[in-house]
A and B are shown apart, each in its own frame.
Chain A
Amino acid sequence: MSKYTEDNLREELKTKEYEYGFYTDIESETFAKGLNEDVVRAISKKKNEPQWMTDWRLEAFRVWKKMEEPDWANVKYPKPNFQEIAYYSAPKKKPKLNSLDEVDPDLLDTFKKLGISLDEQKRLANVAVDIVMDSVSVATTFKKTLGEKGIIFMPISEAIQEHPELVKKYLGTVVPTSDNFYAALNSAVFSDGSFCYIPKGVRCPMELSTYFRINEGGTGQFERTLVVADKGSYVSYLEGCTAPQRDENQLHAAVVELIAMDDAEIKYSTVQNWFPGDANGKGGVFNFVTKRGLCETNAKISWTQVETGSAVTWKYPSCILKGNNSVGEFYSIAVTNHYQQADTGTKMIHLGKNTRSTIISKGISAGKSQNSYRGLVQVNARAENARNFSQCDSLLMGNECGAHTFPYIEAKNKTAQIEHEATTSKIGEDQLFYCNQRGIDTEKAIALIVNGFSKEVLNKLPMEFAVEAQKLLEISLEGSVG
């Protein structure tokens, strides 16, 4: 009988290539490789930054030089040589964007391949898109609509020029330059990223969206994102990534800082699809990201992430629940295939009274990949009546992958209520046969089962993102399991 077996599957997984592995030929200006104080100064100068910013970067660089790359995560990879990386790359043609017609046609073509036509998004999905392409933003849309509400949404490089007082006040307040190795590196050399400020009491009328891509071979990309939601405001922010195929490892060390002031709410959603390496584990992006949000009184921050890409992922979007009654949420789907390794999770730091946090993590492992959940729930002595609920589910495909759960709980207040649930399951032959018998082939059956498994998290994504995320899950796992 010609049924799909695990061997067929393994074969197919091996031949499954990265779907978005194309390369856009846009002329780039790239710095020579290597990193020292002069390079940091040069980056700052290139961006025409004020002295305080240059000093801030240099301070971070000095801190970084003294730090060591962490190795506690459940991942193995050759340590990058930080002197072999070029720290700046900007598209040479920088079009003025009065309309999309003026955008480089190659770039537009790239977006078409990704299925993220700006036109379409503008018209249909009501999404303002700030595109980061090799470090420099080349398009900003919907600025006007946002401007009317007093919302600032622009590349952080522009914000440094136009709103230095805001950037200076908040940059590095949630993730200090000395926080960790990659955050320090990012602080020293960050190329660009997004800045967003929502004024008091304003509800942002649209989902804010940024697409990041790594495009130039051998250039690391260091984004910096800062989102500030002033008292009583609300914003939903979307971040999505795809990257072209590359032979050598590409380093990606982003920092995202969120600040939700009293009664404010920030919803931050990510779909991450960096190049994961080929079937033999060669190439692929190293994704070492520091994401953290600060909640003041009655504030709420929700992180939702769908992680399908990268060769190595090291990422723990966290919430500091500083204010009383503040709420932190973390919803995550992490998919690993081939030789991918992911060590991801969250930290919920309960400082205020009556603070609540929810963690829902779904890990899906296929091929020879390793997928780890690592989470910390910390309740400090003064955090009366703190509550946490954590649920970590793992789905395995085949017999060569691994799923790991590392939950850490530190409760220093007796009134804390902390719940943790965990399950591990495997897509079974019986489930597949059942689907097959109903006329659903194995590929489609896996997509169906995986979507069902991930539903609680997919439901948390904004509509248009959920569709894209579902597509990505299917692409990432095509042909998985028997």
Chain B
Amino acid sequence: MLKINNLHASIDDKSILKGLNIEVKAGEVHAIMGPNGAGKSTLANIIAGKDEYEITEGIIELDGEDISELAPEERAHNGVFLSFQYPVEIPGVSVTNFIKTAINETRKAKGLEDMPAKDMLKMIREKSELLEIDRKFLSRSLNEGFSGGEKKRNEIFQMAMLQPKLAILDETDSGLDIDALRIVANGVNKLKSKDNAVIVITHYQRLLEYIVPDFVHVLHDGKIVKTGDASLALELEAKGYDWIKQELV
């Protein structure tokens, strides 16, 4: 599904990704771990199409098609979803209104009519139940005054509504207490299928106890330096990242 080959990227002439390779197939869950500053969030933003980064070399393919020249909304229409580490506030725009707009804009891009209001409401009800979201929450302004946990839950709610092919969860576990973590992970697991894929970006092994990855990659200094199965995450938790760094020397 996603194929990244020899990706080099920089911001303000500062090189961040330095020849990164990864391949994610449908039905797989990949975890990307690594110390601060390794380039994890950069990778997420580049896949989603944030334009402050410059790709200097390499390719990003989604289903065999190069997406590196596509606008972020076009990538979204093609099924890329990013759960933000720091979701932004949009005052006066309700959670419902926002997701409704997002869904209908995506449908419009595919030449479809707006989703009938009845279907939309039904879907909103189902997905909010899945994430144990209160009705009142849906009429609040997007992310305004939300707690850390509410913000992340709202991100996964949007993911559930948009049903992306490729979901990237950027530190979705940060700021979550154990109950919220369980709800969010449970939501992600229920949304998983053989046709979609998930990339989980995290510092800690904690989230991976709930969302069990097929592959764990260690990102260090702009490259993937080690890949393994779920047990690698445990090993990292026990030994820390210095162990990898030493191994590299």
Contact = CB atoms under 8 A, between A and B. Distances in A.
A440 B92 contact: no
Contacts of B93: 448-449, 451-452
A434 B88 contact: yes
A435 B103 CA distance: 11
Given A448-B93, A455-B92, A439 B51 contact: no
Interface in A429-482: 429-431, 433-442, 444, 448-449, 451-456
A437 B91 contact: no
Given A438-B98, A438-B158, A441-B73, 4 more contacts: A434-B88, A435-B102, A438-B99, A451-B92
A439 B105 contact: yes
A151 B97 CA distance: 40
Interface in A87-104: none
A438 B103 CA distance: 8
A431 B98 CA distance: 12
Contact of B101 (A3, A442, A444): A444
Given A433-B50, A434-B84, A436-B49, A452 B141 contact: yes
B90 A433 contact: no
B30 interface: no
Interface string A407-437: 0000000000000000000001111011111
Contact of A452 (B75, B77, B92): B92
A439 B163 CA distance: 12
Contacts of B109: 439
Contacts of A444: 101, 105
Given A1-B71, A2-B69, A448-B101, A439 B92 contact: no
A3 B72 contact: yes
14 contacts: A3-B71, A4-B71, A433-B48, A437-B48, A437-B81, A438-B99, A438-B105, A439-B73, A439-B102, A439-B109, A451-B92, A452-B90, A454-B92, A455-B92
> 10 shortest A-B CB distances, which residue pairs?
A452-B92, A3-B51, A452-B93, A436-B72, A439-B76, A438-B102, A439-B106, A455-B92, A436-B73, A1-B51
A451 B94 CA distance: 11
A399 interface: no
A117 interface: no
A481 B49 CA distance: 18
A134 B70 CA distance: 50
B90 A437 contact: no
B91 to A, nearest CB: 6
A5 interface: yes
Given A2-B70, A449-B90, A451-B92, A438 B84 contact: no
Nearest to B51: A3
A3 B70 CA distance: 8
A425 to B, nearest CB: 8
Interface of A: 1-5, 428-431, 433-442, 444, 448-449, 451-456
A5 B51 contact: yes
A392 to B, nearest CB: 15
Contacts, number: 91
Contacts of B76: 436-439
Contacts of A436: 49, 71-73, 76
Contacts of A440: 73, 101-102, 105
Nearest to B53: A1
Interface string B42-61: 00000011111001000000
Interface-centre pick from A2, A437, A444, A452 (highest chain B CB count, 10 A) = A437
A13 to B, nearest CB: 19
Contacts of B68: 1
A451 B141 CA distance: 12
Contacts of B71: 1-4, 436, 441
Contact of B82 (A4, A437, A449, A451): A437
A424 to B, nearest CB: 13
Interface string B206-240: 00000000000000000000000000000000000
B87 interface: yes
A433 B97 CA distance: 17
B72 A431 contact: no
A364 to B, nearest CB: 12
B95 to A, nearest CB: 12
Nearest to A452: B92
A466 to B, nearest CB: 14
B99 to A, nearest CB: 8
Contacts of A442: 73
A453 B105 contact: no
B162 interface: yes
Nearest to A454: B92
Contacts of B69: 1-2
A442 B103 CA distance: 15
Contact of A431 (B49, B75, B88): B88
Nearest to B161: A438
Contacts of B72: 3, 433, 436-437
A448 B89 CA distance: 12
Contacts of A3: 49-51, 71-72
Contacts of A449: 90, 93
B137 to A, nearest CB: 17
Nearest to B110: A439
Contacts of A441: 71, 73, 105
Nearest to B102: A438
A382 B183 CA distance: 60
Contacts of A454: 92
A448 B90 contact: yes
A214 B105 CA distance: 37
B120 to A, nearest CB: 15
B241 to A, nearest CB: 29
Interface string B96-122: 011101110110010000000000000
Contacts of B92: 451-456
A439 to B, nearest CB: 4
B90 A1 contact: no
Nearest to B142: A452
